């Protein structure tokens, strides 16, 4: 212990890591804390970026949706009207706008040359030969006009005969802006306003009666839709022309679409870990049901404090399966629940794939892309998986995620057992994406040679599609299920061995087709993913016409096999939902957007048809996760420092869910706060039985062991905490301090340096590293750390003291005295600053620095403040007397210091005996720098 800093030893204790607490039912790291921070422990509740309020406490209120207003001047012909219609229909006759506009319509229509010689107007949407479901709401027509003077457009719909036609005069306003969910705005996403091309489009949406008339008359034959551009001031001259054909199918979609509605808000935690969605945003995940004939969807579930994800339904619409993150960080929890108008998910409906008896010891499985059987009696999944995961802060493609190892397993609802499926359990391969044939007799799945998710020499990918991704290409296989007996996998011709990655198969309910995703590498959310169709028995695969320019996946067949719903990022980074029609020959149609499925800054994913009437599926409630809501109330009370009331809530949460890991740790935190550390130990040990990788349980046990003087036990737990979470700053600090207290200075240096690397602008990290470097005699390096700490926090007293000590040991006494004087300016009553300055003024070898008189005044003040009971302060006073030549006072004060030190600190006592011998020979004490003999 250095002489100048010896008085400060009591402030250098273990960092307070006890404050987990829990945020939204997940583990949340405590705030970073330096080893010199003895402030009260506080929980860190995750918040959305940019200071938004915690969405867990925010309902999906209408005022969270904001639509940017568009101010447009009145149109020269239409004024404020959205359009003017002239319908020449039989038997309705002529239905139309006022006479003046009818005249304009006829002039424009008559002016168009029959030879189509006008400049081409590009119709962007719908695409030519689009097929619409009979029940879908109206699309928004989008087009681009080549003539700069055009300010009005005439849409002409022809229905196969010269006697039926509809004209619509439209102002061609800019595309409508969708509503923005303000709760989802963060520093890692943006309000997407479209490319320059998208923003320059013209737009028009038919009203309900008009769209119904168009659909009704476009079933027998396609409707030809022609659009003419012209200037309102010169309606007799058409300037441009565009055309498409659209048709309305007689095949209804026939079922609502169930889907996830999610924010895209990646976040980087304080440990440097990127998460695709921060815990604070979990309550903003919505599960929705969409009847495409209605203008908006129905919100079935939101406000969850845990993640709900991939889902499927039995073919009869009676059973739902869904991933649901469970207690103790169990991402293998899975729901199998009966579907009802008001669906209730209780504990009895939740299983865990981690209860698989053949799971390797210590391995956690997630149950990758689980799928219910057509009759709802089985669920098949990937078990024992290794998954390659890379997360990015680019919200457009924020994650790469695919398995590199794993076997097929299934759960039987009859005997509630999880078993490996023979034929899909060869560890030489990874088996994933299993789906059922409509009769439940066989499975189709993706398979590839197994490999390490993170092989030696692996470098993290920087973005989706980066060549640095672990390479893997899957092929599709077919295999009997045979009541769980399995069979021999056989590759599916057309979806295997084609030099691409073939994944995510879906079998049509009529058993005729498989639609799958093809991409260059991996699977799921790939920028280059495309939908391909192949006969179910194998054959020639064809690229589907519905593919968009970017990411086509997450597809599902309608119950009648005639429609496919899928997700794409073609229009916006916020994934949208599209439909395509599939005819008897497996031919698909251009993509049809399902509009108004969510806010413009939220994404639609995993759309799935559910074979149940829309009116019979109204809500989902999850009593199985009520313990999380109780736990959140505990957090709120903890933050209000109502510890007893918080404890009641956490106890109730653990009663509801005995495996609620965070509840056990939270109770332990409260007990630590109350000083009842012995009672906290069994709770933390219980947490470790639930999750051996619970790093903050290890960290808190390390804190307790350290407080009880068991440095070896503390170091052991801190080492485990750091091994599990190497990027947590506070854990590194605590480990470094425990090692330093143990005298393991080199090892302490490693972890203090790691803490500095994790938080380069944290002064406390610099101070701790500087202190251990100083103890090791690495003076130049110590000075550099202390100087950086002073630069970061000029008023931080301990940084000045450390820098003063390091400078003194380098022999730079004037500079050292300057630092101690600056420290006294920050706090004139600080004993460390007073004692350090007095000691240098009394003992410096530099004649220009020493000042015995001032040293006596300072040392007397320090001794008076402690009742002359501190041997170190008395030693400084004795040295000051000696410097002033007051030898009798020096001897008397030194003797008093020695008497106290003999009972308090034998090491200091030996030093005092040497100093006392000097005083008796009328020799002053001089500061000795390292290596000074």
Question: Measuring CA to CA, which residue among 413, 17, 925, 842 is closest to residue 820?
Answer: 842
pLDDT at 94: 55
C-alpha–C-alpha distance, residues 374 and 317, integer Å: 9
What does the pLDDT read at residue 54? 35
Tokens of 98: 């006022």
Query: What crossing angle do the helices spanning 797-809 and 763-775 adopt, rounded to 10°?
Result: 30
396: number of Cβ within 10 Å: 19
CA distance 269 to 123: 45
277: DSSP letter: B
CA distance 638 to 651: 13
pLDDT above 70: residue 167: yes
Distance (Å, whole) CA 93 – CA 78: 23
Confidence of residue 615 (pLDDT cuts 50, 70, 90): very high
Annotate 883-894 with b (16+ C-beta within 10 A) or e (fewer). Answer: bbebbebbbebb
pLDDT digits (tens, 9 = 90+) for 10-53: 223 333 333 333 332 322 222 222 222 222 232 222 222 232 33
User: Under DSSP, is residue 780 helix (H, G, I), strand (E, B) or coil?
Assistant: helix
What beta strand segments (E) does 159-307 contain? 165-170, 180-181, 202-204, 223-230, 238-248, 257-263, 267-268, 274-275, 286-290, 298-301
Residue 6 in this model has a pLDDT that exceeds 50: no
Q: Is the pLDDT of residue 729 over 80?
A: yes
Which tokens is 219 given? 């079933």
Report helix, strand and coil shares of the chain as percent, to nearest 5. Answer: 35, 25, 45
* CA 703/CA 714 separation, integer angstroms: 6
Measured distance CA(72)–CA(569) in Å, rounded: 29
Residue 651 has pLDDT above 90, yes or no: yes
Q: 26-27 and 22-23 as β-strands: parallel, antiparallel, unpaired? A: antiparallel
Helices first, then strands: H and E counts in the chain: 20, 42
Q: What percent of the chain has pLDDT over 90?
A: 78
Model pLDDT, residue 31: 24
Q: How confident is the model at residue 271 (pLDDT cuts 50, 70, 90)?
A: low
Distance of CA 614 to the CA centre of its chain: 32
- Quote the CA–CA distance of 654 and 651 in Å, as a whole number: 5
Q: β-pairing, 417-420 with 429-436?
A: unpaired
- DSSP class per residue in 809-841: HTT-HHHHHHHHHHHHHH-TT-HHHHHHHHHHH
Q: What is the pLDDT of residues 186-229, one digit of tens each?
A: 999 999 999 999 999 999 999 999 999 999 999 999 999 999 99
List the single range of 188-202, 707-721, 897-911 with lowest mean pLDDT: 897-911
pLDDT tens digits for range 87-119? 887 666 556 667 888 888 888 888 888 777 899
| Contact indicator for 826, 818 with CB cutoff of 8 Å | no
**Secondary structure (3-state) at 258:** strand
Q: How many CB atoms lie within 10 A of CB 437?
A: 20
Q: At what angle do helices 626-639 and 643-656 cross, to 10 degrees?
A: 170
What 3-state DSSP class applies to 429?
A: strand
What is the percentage of the chain residues whose pLDDT exceeds 70? Answer: 92
Predicted local confidence at residue 211, as pLDDT: 96
> What was the pLDDT predicted at 928?
84
Can you tell me the mean pLDDT for 78-85? 91
What mean pLDDT is predicted for residues 697-707?
92
- The answer, yes or no, to whether the previous bond of 839 is cis (omega within 30 of 0) is no
Cα first-last separation, the chain = 19
Q: Which of 504, 506, 493 is nearest to 436 (CA)?
A: 506
Q: What is the secondary structure of 685-713 as a DSSP string?
A: HHHHHH-TT-HHHHHHHHHHHHHTT-HHH
């Amino acid at each position: 212990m250095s002489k100048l800093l010896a008085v400060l030893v009591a402030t250098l204790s273990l960092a307070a890591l006890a404050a987990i607490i829990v945020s939204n039912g997940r583990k949340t790291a405590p705030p970073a804390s330096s080893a010199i921070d003895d402030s009260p422990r506080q929980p860190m509740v995750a918040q959305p970026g940019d200071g938004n309020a915690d969405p867990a406490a925010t309902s999906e209120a209408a005022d969270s949706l904001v639509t940017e207003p568009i101010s447009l001047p009145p149109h020269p012909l239409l004024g404020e009207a959205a359009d003017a219609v002239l319908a020449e229909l039989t038997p309705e006759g002529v239905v139309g706008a006022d006479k003046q506009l009818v005249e304009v319509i006829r002039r424009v229509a008559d002016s168009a040359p029959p030879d189509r010689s006008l400049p081409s107007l590009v119709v962007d949407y719908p695409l030519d030969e689009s097929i619409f479901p009979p029940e879908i709401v109206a699309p928004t027509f989008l087009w681009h006009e080549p003539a700069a003077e055009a300010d009005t457009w005439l849409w002409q719909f022809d229905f196969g005969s010269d006697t039926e036609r509809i004209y619509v005069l439209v102002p061609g306003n800019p595309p409508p802006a969708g509503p923005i969910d303000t709760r989802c705005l963060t520093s890692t996403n943006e309000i997407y306003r479209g490319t320059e091309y998208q923003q320059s489009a013209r737009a028009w949406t038919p009203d309900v009666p008009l769209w119904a008339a168009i659909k009704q008359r476009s079933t027998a034959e396609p409707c030809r839709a022609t659009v003419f551009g012209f200037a309102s001031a010169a309606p007799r001259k058409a300037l441009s022309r565009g055309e498409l054909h659209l048709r309305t199918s007689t095949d209804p979609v026939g079922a609502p679409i169930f889907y996830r509605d999610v924010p895209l808000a990646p976040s980087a935690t304080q440990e440097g870990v990127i998460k695709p969605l921060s815990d604070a945003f979990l309550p903003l995940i919505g599960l929705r049901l969409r009847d495409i004939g209605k203008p908006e969807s129905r919100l079935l579930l939101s406000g969850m404090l845990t993640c709900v994800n991939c889902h499927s339904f039995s073919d009869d619409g009676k059973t739902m399966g869904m991933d649901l993150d469970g207690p103790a960080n169990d991402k293998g929890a899975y729901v199998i629940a009966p579907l009802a108008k008001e669906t209730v998910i209780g504990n009895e409906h939740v299983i865990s794939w981690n209860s698989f008896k053949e799971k390797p010891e210590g391995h956690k499985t997630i149950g990758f892309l689980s799928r219910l059987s057509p009759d709802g009696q089985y669920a098949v999944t990937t078990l024992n998986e290794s998954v390659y995961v890379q997360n990015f802060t680019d919200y457009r493609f924020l994650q790469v995620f695919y398995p590199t190892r794993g076997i097929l397993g299934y759960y039987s609802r009859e005997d509630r057992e999880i078993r490996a499926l023979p034929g899909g359990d060869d560890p030489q391969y990874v088996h994933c994406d299993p789906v059922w044939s409509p009769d439940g007799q066989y499975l189709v799945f993706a398979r590839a040679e197994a490999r390490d998710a993170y092989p030696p020499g692996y470098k993290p990918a920087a973005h989706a599609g980066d060549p640095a991704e672990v390479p893997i290409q899957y092929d599709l296989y077919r295999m009997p299920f045979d009541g769980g007996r399995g069979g021999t996998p056989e590759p599916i011709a057309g979806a295997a061995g084609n030099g691409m990655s073939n994944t995510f198969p879906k079998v049509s309910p009529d058993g005729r087709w498989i639609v799958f995703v093809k991409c260059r590498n991996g699977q799921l959310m790939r920028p280059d993913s495309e939908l391909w169709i192949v006969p179910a028995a194998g054959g020639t695969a064809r690229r589907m016409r519905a593919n968009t320019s970017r990411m086509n996946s997450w597809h599902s067949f309608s119950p009648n096999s005639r429609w496919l719903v899928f997700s794409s990022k073609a229009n916006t980074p916020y994934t949208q939902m599209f439909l395509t029609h599939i005819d008897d020959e497996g031919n698909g149609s251009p993509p049809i957007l399902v509009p108004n499925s969510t806010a413009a800054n939220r994404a639609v994913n995993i759309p799935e048809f559910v074979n149940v009437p829309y009116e019979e599926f109204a809500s989902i409630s999850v009593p199985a996760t009520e313990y999380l809501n109780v736990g959140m109330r505990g957090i709120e009370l903890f933050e209000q420092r109502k510890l007893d009331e918080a404890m009641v809530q956490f106890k109730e949460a653990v009663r509801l869910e005995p495996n609620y890991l965070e509840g056990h740790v939270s109770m332990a935190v409260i007990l630590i706060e109350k000083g009842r550390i012995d009672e906290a130990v069994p709770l933390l040990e219980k947490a470790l039985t639930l999750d051996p990788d619970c790093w903050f349980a290890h960290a808190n046990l390390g804190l307790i062991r350290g407080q009880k003087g068991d440095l070896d036990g503390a170091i052991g737990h801190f080492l485990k905490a750091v091994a599990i979470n190497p990027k947590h700053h506070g854990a590194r600090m605590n480990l470094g301090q425990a090692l330093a207290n143990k005298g393991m200075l080199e090892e302490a240096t490693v972890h203090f340096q790691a803490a500095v690397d994790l938080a380069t602008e944290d002064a406390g990290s610099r101070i701790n590293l500087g202190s251990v470097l100083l103890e090791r005699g690495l003076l130049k390096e110590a000075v550099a750390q202390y100087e950086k700490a002073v630069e970061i926090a000029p008023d931080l007293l301990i940084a000045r003291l450390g820098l003063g000590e390091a400078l003194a040991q380098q022999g730079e006494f004037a500079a050292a005295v300057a630092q101690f004087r600056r420290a006294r300016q920050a706090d004139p009553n600080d004993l460390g600053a007073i004692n350090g300055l007095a000691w240098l003024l009394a003992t410096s070898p530099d004649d220009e620095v020493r000042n015995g008189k001032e040293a006596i005044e300072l040392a007397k003040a320090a001794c008076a403040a402690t009742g002359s009971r501190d041997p170190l302060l008395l030693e400084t006073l004795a040295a000051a007397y000696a410097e002033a030549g007051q030898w009798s006072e020096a001897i008397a004060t030194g003797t008093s210091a020695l008497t106290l030190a003999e009972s308090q600190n034998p090491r200091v006592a030996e030093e005092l005996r040497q100093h006392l011998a000097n005083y008796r020979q009328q020799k002053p004490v001089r500061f000795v720098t390292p290596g000074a003999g």
